[in-house]
Structure 1
Amino acid sequence: MSMVDKHYPYDPKNKESIISYARKLLGSTLRQHIAVSEMPNPRRRKGTFGNALEKDYFQYELNNDSNPDFAEVGLELKATPLKRNKNGKYVAKERLVITMINYLNVIRERFEASILMHKLKDILLVVYLYEKEKNFLDYQIKIVDEWALPEEDVPTIKADWELVVKKIRDGRAHEISGRDTLYLEACTKASSSSVTTKQPFSDIPAKPRAWALKASYMTAVENKLLKKRKMEPIKVSKEEEGFNLLDVVRHRFQPYFGLTEEELGKKFGYETAKGKKPKALTALVTRQILGVAEDAKIEQFEKAGIKQKTIRLTKTGRPKEAVSFPRFDYYELVETDFEDSDFYRQLQDKYLFVIYRESPEDPGVYRLADVLFWQMPDSDLEYAARCYEEMRARTKAGHAENSVKSTENPCCHVRPHARNKQDTLPTPPNGKPVIKKCFWLNQGYLAEEIHRNLNL
C-alpha cells in the first residue's frame, strides 16, 4: 500500500498516531465517523465492514499485498465480528483470516520467518458487535487494541503450521482439514467450492486456503481484551518451554498414571472427614494437575475449543458410560439442518479425554491410565448426520418419543437426558410433551476410537 503524497487524518509513519486515530472508534459506529449515503448490505458482500474501515475511515486503497497494511510501521489492520450467543455471552462470529497460503512458496518457508508470523507480529485489532437486524454501519465497535501473538501460544501455532505444511510437502494439500489443528487453521478461501488450484508434489488439484486463527481462539482473545471471562493459563515450566499444548498436558499427567481416583483425591486434599469424595472429583483433580484454579476457564482450552471429559474404561476396555451432548429443543431440531445445528458445532470441538481404567485385580477400582485429545474424524460425521436427520424426520412426523437407538447407527444415538419422566418439552406438530433428550456417542464407537488413538 502506497501512502505517499496523500494527506491522512493520522501520520502513517507513526504507529502511535495510527492507533490513537483508531481508538476514536471505540464504543461508537462507523456511521458516526464516515460520510456515506448508503452502502451494500453485508449479507450480500462479505467483508463490507472491513472494506469501509480501510477505505473510508483509514482512507487507503484495498489491496492483496503480503506486507502489513501500515507497512511503514509494520502494523496489520484486522476487523472481525463478535456476537452474543444464546446465553448472552460474547463469542467470535468467525475465524480471523490472516493471509492466503501460496502452496508453491510456503514449502520453502521457515516458520519463524514465515509470512504468517510476519503478519501476526503486530496487529491493530478492531472488533465490532454483529447484530443481524442492523446495517453494518451501525455495528458497535467493542474493541480497538494493538495485539500480537502471545509468546506462550507460539509453540502450538508452530505445531499447527508444521502439520499443514507437511501435508503440502507430502503432496496432500487436498487432504488438509481445519480439524487437524488447535489454534491455527488452513481454511478454504475461494468464491465457490468448485474453485481449485495447483499444489506441488501432486497432480491432484487442491482448494485455495488461507491461514486463519480459529473462532474458538478469537473468542478467548476477545473475551480477555473485554475482561468478560475469568481465564487462567496452564503456566509452562522451564522444562516445558517450547512444548505444544498436547505435550504440556501429557507431561503434567504422566507422574500420576496408575493412581486410583481415591489416591488422587487424597493427594489433592479432596477427601472429606467422612471419607466421601466430591461428585466432580476427577474434574477437580484434572484442574489441580494442570495447575488451574477450580473456578477459572483454562485459557489454552478456551483458545482451542477443547472440552474436558472423564472416561472410565471397564476391564474389557469398554467405556462405562456413553458421552452425552446438551439437550436439544424438538422444534429447533425440525427447523435446523445438520450443518447449522448445535450438534454439528459440538462435533467440531476437540475433547481432552482423561482416561481411568478398571483395575483387573480390584473390580470397581479405577486408575488414571492415559490422556487423549480427540475429535470426531471427518469420515464419521456422515454417520452423525444420519442419526441427526433420522431423529429430525421422526420428530417432524410427530414421533419424537421414538429415539434413534445405538443399534441403528455405528456412532451416535438419542436417549433421554432429564431429571425424571415429568421433565419434558413440547414436540411438533401439536405440542405433545416428550421427555427431554440429547445425542450420545455410542460406547462401542468410543471404545474403538480410544483404542485406535492410543494403540491399546
Structure 2
Amino acid sequence: MFKYETIDDLVSYAKEAEGKTLKEIDKNDMFESKNIKGKVGTIIEESYFGYPSNSAAEADFADVGVELKTTGVIRQKSGKLAAKERLVLNIINYETESFKDFYTSSFWLKNNKLLIFFYSYVRNADNKPDYRNFEIIKTILHEFNDTDLELIKKDWEIINNKIKAGLAHELSEGDTNILGACTKGASAKSVRSQPFSDIDAKQRAYSLKQGYMSALVRQYIDNEKLISFTSAEQLKNKSFEALLHDYFDVYIGWSTKDIAKRLGVELSTAKNKNALLISDILGITGTNLNKIEEFSKLNIKFKTITYSKTGTLPESMSFENLNFEEIYNENFDDSSLKEQMESIKWLFVVFQKDENNDTIFKGIKLWNVPEEIIDNQIRDLYDYVKQQMLDKNVVTYDQNGKEIINLPKTAFNGVCHVRPKGANRAKSMITLPNGESIPNQCFWFNNSFIKTLTDNLLN
C-alpha cells in the first residue's frame, strides 16, 4: 500500500501515473474479469494505491480529506477534448442527508477535495472501449473556487429542500446547474425510502455534470482561459438565471438593427446573424458559448428561434447524429443520449418577424428536458430504433421498389423524431450494426413541441 504523510505526497505520487496505461498499472489481472466496465477506478485504487475499493462515507484518503476519482476524456470531432460523462460521486441517503446543512452534508465531507485521474477513453478497431490502453493523461487536486461553490451550494439546497418536502421521488437532473442528483443503480427500479413521504424514490447519487467536467478538462489539460461574467458576490444575491435575464431583458421589443446599433456592432448578413448578435450582447466573438466559463460549466447551449409574423415556427430543433452502435449495444439508461438530455440546459433566444419584416427580440427562456419526457417519449424513440435494428426492419421497400426508412417520424409521439440533417445522401451513408445501410440520422425535437415551450414569449 502506498504510504504518505501529506496531501503533497499524495499528489506527487498521483503525478507519477501520468503517461501510464491501465495495462501497465493493473497488478490484479482485472482485465480477465468479464465485467470490466466501470472498473477503471478500482484498478487505480487497488493496483496503484494498493487499498481495497470501498463505499465508505468518508473520503478515500480520510486523514487528509481527499476523495479519489477517475474520469474519461474523449476527443470531439472539432478536435477539442471533453469529459466523456458526468462524474458520479456518493449515493444520497435521503434518510440522513435531509437533517444536514451544506458543510455537514455527505457531499461536502466526502468530496470537497478531489484527486482526479483524467484518462483517455479510446476505442479499438471493433469500436469497443479499449480498456487496456486507457492512458492517464493528467492528475490534479481539484478544490472548488468561490464562484463554483456558490452555484454548488444553491444546487445542494435545491436537492435537499426537495427531500425535506417529501419530494425525493421528483428529483431531476434538470433541477440544478453543476451538482446533479443522477440516478444510480442496476436499473430504473432501484429505489430507496425517504423520510418525509411513503413514496419510494429512485436511488440517486451526487454528481458533477458533464459540462462542468468538460470545463475542467479544458482548464487543466488544454490550459484554456475562459471568460467569466458573474462573481461569487453576485451569486450570493441572485440566481444565475436572474443574472442572465439582466443581460437580455433590456432589449425585449427591440429590433436586431437597433440592438446592433446600441452595441456599436455591424449586423451580420450571415445565416446565423441572430446567433452572432447574441454573442455580441454577451461580449464574445463567434457563437461558441463555451468560451464563457459559466456557460461551459453549466453546459448551456443556446438556440435562436424565429417565429413568423403570424406566430408559426417553421423549424424543428436538431442535435448531432445518432450513435447507432451505442443504441444497438446499450440500454437507454446507460446511453450518452440520455445523459445529454439530462445534462444540457437550453437557452432559447426568441425572435419574431414584424409587419415590416424586421426581426424583433422577444426574450429568453432557460430550459432543460423534463425527466418525464426523457423517461417516456425519448426512451420510447430510443427503444423503437433499437428494436428496428434488432429486427432488421430499418430499411424496407414498397411495391414499386421505393426505399422506406422505418424510423420515428414527427407523428411518432408528438415530441421528437429522427431524420437526416443535410441534403447530401451519398456522403452521409453509414452501415448500421445490423448490416443495413442508411443516411446518417439526427435526433430532433418537433417544431410543434418547441412552440409549446416558447410561444408565451411572443406576447
Coarse TM-score class (shorter-chain normalised): 0.7 to 0.9
Q: 2:400 is matched with which residue?
A: none
Deviations 1:65-90, CA, capped at 9 Å, x for gaps: 32222222222222222234556543
- Matched to 1:314, the amino acid is S
Q: 2:269 is matched with which residue?
A: 277
Q: Give the aligned length.
A: 438
Residue 138 of structure 2 corresponds to residue 143 of structure 1: yes
Q: State how far apart, in whole Å, the 1-side matches of 2:277 and 2:34 are.
A: 46
Q: 2:351 is matched with which residue?
A: 356
In the TM superposition, what are the counterparts of 1:303-452 in structure 2 within 5 Å? Answer: 303-327=297-321, 335=328, 339=332, 347-348=341-342, 349-359=344-354, 362-381=355-374, 382-384=376-378, 393=388, 395-398=394-397, 399-400=403-404, 405-407=409-411, 409-414=413-418, 417-419=421-423, 425=429, 438-451=442-455
Residue 278 of structure 2 corresponds to residue 292 of structure 1: no
The answer (yes or no) to whether the contact 1:83–1:131 under 8 Å persists in 2 is yes
Shift of 1:306: 2.1
Mark the CA change 1:318 to 1:232 in structure 2 (over 3 Å): closer, same or farther.
Answer: farther
Mark the CA change 1:173 to 1:38 in structure 2 (over 3 Å): closer, same or farther.
Answer: same
Deviations 1:82-107, CA, capped at 9 Å, x for gaps: 23455654332332122221212221
The answer (yes or no) to whether the contact 1:270–1:277 under 8 Å persists in 2 is no
The answer (yes or no) to whether the contact 1:418–1:437 under 8 Å persists in 2 is no
Q: State how far apart, in whole Å, the 2-side matches of 1:86 and 1:202 are.
A: 46
Deviations 1:51-73, CA, capped at 9 Å, x for gaps: 23223322334333322222222
Residue 234 of structure 2 corresponds to residue 235 of structure 1: no
- Matched to 2:278, the amino acid is T
Deviations 1:106-149, CA, capped at 9 Å, x for gaps: 21222244332233432211122233557745421111111112
Q: 1:165 is matched with which residue?
A: 160
Residue 212 of structure 2 corresponds to residue 221 of structure 1: no
The answer (yes or no) to whether the contact 2:25–2:43 under 8 Å persists in 1 is no
Deviations 1:338-392, CA, capped at 9 Å, x for gaps: 8377765654432110112344xx4422322211112232333433455567678
Mark the CA change 1:127 to 1:42 in structure 2 (over 3 Å): closer, same or farther.
Answer: farther
Shift of 1:311: 1.1
Mark the CA change 1:92 to 1:312 in structure 2 (over 3 Å): closer, same or farther.
Answer: same
Mark the CA change 1:240 to 1:252 in structure 2 (over 3 Å): closer, same or farther.
Answer: farther
Shift of 1:202: 0.9
TM-score normalised by the chain length of structure 2:
0.81
Per the alignment, in what secondary structure is the counterpart of residue 325 of structure 1? Answer: strand
Deviations 1:253-290, CA, capped at 9 Å, x for gaps: 12222221111222334327xxx634332222222222
Per the alignment, in what secondary structure is the counterpart of residue 30 of structure 2? Answer: coil
- Matched to 2:366, the amino acid is F
Mark the CA change 1:385 to 1:396 in structure 2 (over 3 Å): closer, same or farther.
Answer: farther
Q: 1:263 is matched with which residue?
A: 258
Larger Rg: 1
Shift of 1:185: 1.3
- Matched to 1:367, the amino acid is I
Per the alignment, in what secondary structure is the counterpart of residue 19 of structure 2? Answer: coil
Select the residue among 17, 21, 24 that pairs with 1:25.
17
Q: State how far apart, in whole Å, the 2-side matches of 1:72 and 1:432 are.
A: 57
- Matched to 2:396, the amino acid is A
Shift of 1:309: 0.5
Q: Please, which moves more after superposition, 381-390 or 276-285?
A: 381-390
Mark the CA change 1:365 to 1:99 in structure 2 (over 3 Å): closer, same or farther.
Answer: same
Q: State how far apart, in whole Å, the 2-side matches of 1:204 and 1:108 are.
A: 19
Q: State how far apart, in whole Å, the 1-side matches of 2:431 and 2:7 are.
A: 58
- Matched to 1:235, the amino acid is F
The answer (yes or no) to whether the contact 2:184–2:190 under 8 Å persists in 1 is no
Q: 2:247 is matched with which residue?
A: 252
Q: Please, which moves more after superposition, 205-214 or 440-449?
A: 440-449
Q: State how far apart, in whole Å, the 2-side matches of 1:270 and 1:332 are.
A: 45
Q: 1:118 is matched with which residue?
A: 109
The answer (yes or no) to whether the contact 1:120–1:149 under 8 Å persists in 2 is no
Deviations 1:139-171, CA, capped at 9 Å, x for gaps: 211111111122222232223222222221121
Q: Please, which moves more after superposition, 276-285 or 414-423?
A: 414-423
Per the alignment, in what secondary structure is the counterpart of residue 232 of structure 1? Answer: coil
Q: State how far apart, in whole Å, the 2-side matches of 1:388 and 1:62 are.
A: 34
Q: State how far apart, in whole Å, the 1-side matches of 2:385 and 2:115 are.
A: 46
Per the alignment, in what secondary structure is the counterpart of residue 64 of structure 2? Answer: coil
In the TM superposition, what are the counterparts of 1:65-104 in structure 2 within 5 Å? Answer: 65-85=56-76, 89-104=80-95
Q: State how far apart, in whole Å, the 1-side matches of 2:300 and 2:335 are.
A: 19
Shift of 1:308: 1.0
- Matched to 2:42, the amino acid is N
Per the alignment, in what secondary structure is the counterpart of residue 67 of structure 1? Answer: coil
**Cα RMSD over matched residues?**
3.6
Shift of 1:175: 2.1
Mark the CA change 1:408 to 1:77 in structure 2 (over 3 Å): closer, same or farther.
Answer: closer
* Structure 1: gaps (5+ residues): 1-7
Select the residue among 185, 188, 191 that pairs with 2:183.
188
Deviations 1:366-419, CA, capped at 9 Å, x for gaps: 322211112232333433455567678573325346786545542234556325
The answer (yes or no) to whether the contact 1:234–1:292 under 8 Å persists in 2 is no
- Matched to 1:252, the amino acid is Y
